Amino acid sequence: MSALIELKDVTKIYGGNFLSKENQTIAVNKATFAIEEDNPRIVTIAGESGSGKTTMTRLLLGSIRPTTGEMYYRGKDFRKLSRKERRQFQLDVQPIFQDPFESYNPFYKVDHVLHAPIKNFKLARSKDERDELVNESLRLVGLQPDETLGRFPHQLSGGQRQRIMVARALLLKPRVILADEPVSMVDASLRATILDSIQTLKDDLGITIVYITHDLTTAFQISDDILIMYRGNVVEHGDVERVIHNPQHAYTQLLIESIPQPDPDKRWGELVRATGTDIVNAGRQRDIFGIEPGQEQEYDEVEPNHWVLKSVSPEEEEAAPEPVESAST
């Protein structure tokens, strides 16, 4: 199958400069990832804060460029897209952000965030056509237009504001929606509603969802595939049930172990101590999971559609090259 979006060996580095590697942060390291054109799925990118999952999202959205590596849209180098192709990309790939309140201007009614994309992309030829598009989009996410439109953002609940942002994305008939922590700002009663809406987008509308989260419980609930990120590296990826039920990387195992269990005798962090917090090489402490900055990405396929990153051994670390310098492509 052809890829709608494809990242090939993409690295994103913040900080540092051409003359110095100090204060560099490798936010994403040599990531390869593709979103298929005609196979809608829910793909989760999971990891704790600082793991690189949001940077990966921004790369997929095209809002930042990789330091090294290549990004393709429908097989064409993203840097060589024409103005028309970039506009189509903006229609095909839509974000839903973590805090919907930041997407609203408190001085405008919520109608404004729905009317703006219709105007910018010339989706309607008349006011009646515009209103029909808005009403249809709101109904798709379970909102009644007469109970939603004409209100200011503060007059709506967090769940309503979040679903309006989903409706806004749907107006553009996207192929992919990038949902960055879409349920982290709502309470448990609304979380299930929003997750059901995400599932509906895939099942009924054929939209691929890239779901960004630190919550493996919701990831397991709605996802088809999952990528586990740690320090900018995809350490394990594949079918969500295989990764969650049979985690192979120590970091994935720790994340799963950290899910609250109704067992007071189970102590958190036993796996960390088992992997060894005092692994020392050349007089310094190594990462407890064997991850080194800028390391090559080699994976073992432990079972069909389930891959795990090979860790760097002390011998390989000594011979490893220095991290790549920051340089714009």
DSSP 327: -
Whether residue 196 lies inside any domain: the answer is: yes
Work out how many domains the chain is built from and give that number: 1
State the pLDDT at residue 278.
41
Whether residue 160 lies inside any domain: the answer is: no
Whether residue 129 lies inside any domain: the answer is: no
Q: Which residues contact 168 (CB under 8 A, 6 or more apart)?
A: 113, 114, 117, 137
* Parallel/antiparallel/unpaired status of strands 208-213 and 176-180: parallel
Contact 118, 199 (CB under 8 A): no
Whether residue 79 lies inside any domain: the answer is: yes
Which domain covers residue 83, as residue numbers? 3-102+174-319
Give how far the C-alpha of residue 29 lies from the chain's centroid of Cα atoms, to the nearest Å. 15
Tell me the CATH number at 57: 3.40.50.300
Torsion angle (degrees, nearest 10) of CA 314, 323, 32, 88: 160
Q: What is the mean pLDDT of residues 103-107?
A: 82
Whether residue 134 lies inside any domain: the answer is: no
pLDDT tens per residue across span 149-192: 999 999 988 778 888 988 999 999 999 999 988 877 667 777 77
Number of alpha helices (DSSP H) and beta strands (DSSP E) in the chain: 12, 14
Contact 41, 29 (CB under 8 A): no
User: 321 pLDDT exceeds 80?
Assistant: no
Question: Measuring CA to CA, which residue among 51, 55, 70, 10 is closest to residue 235?
Answer: 51
More confident residue, 280 or 178: 178
Question: Measuring CA to CA, which residue among 153, 207, 215, 204 is closest to residue 182?
Answer: 215
Contact 297, 30 (CB under 8 A): yes
State the pLDDT at residue 69.
95
Amino acid sitting at position 321: P
Whether residue 142 lies inside any domain: the answer is: no
Whether residue 17 lies inside any domain: the answer is: yes
Whether residue 194 lies inside any domain: the answer is: yes
pLDDT tens per residue across span 116-125: 999 999 999 9
Amino acid sitting at position 47: G
State the pLDDT at residue 93.
94
Contact 104, 185 (CB under 8 A): no
Helix (H, G, I), strand (E, B) or coil at 270: helix
With vertex at residue 214, the alpha carbon angle to CA 212 and CA 215, rounded to the nearest 5 degrees, is 105
Residue 110 is encoded by which pair of tokens? Answer: 């919520």
More confident residue, 234 or 189: 234
Residue 153 is encoded by which pair of tokens? Answer: 């953002």
pLDDT tens per residue across span 53-86: 989 999 999 999 999 999 999 999 999 999 999 9
Which residues does residue 14 pair with via DSSP β-bridges, in sequence order? 25
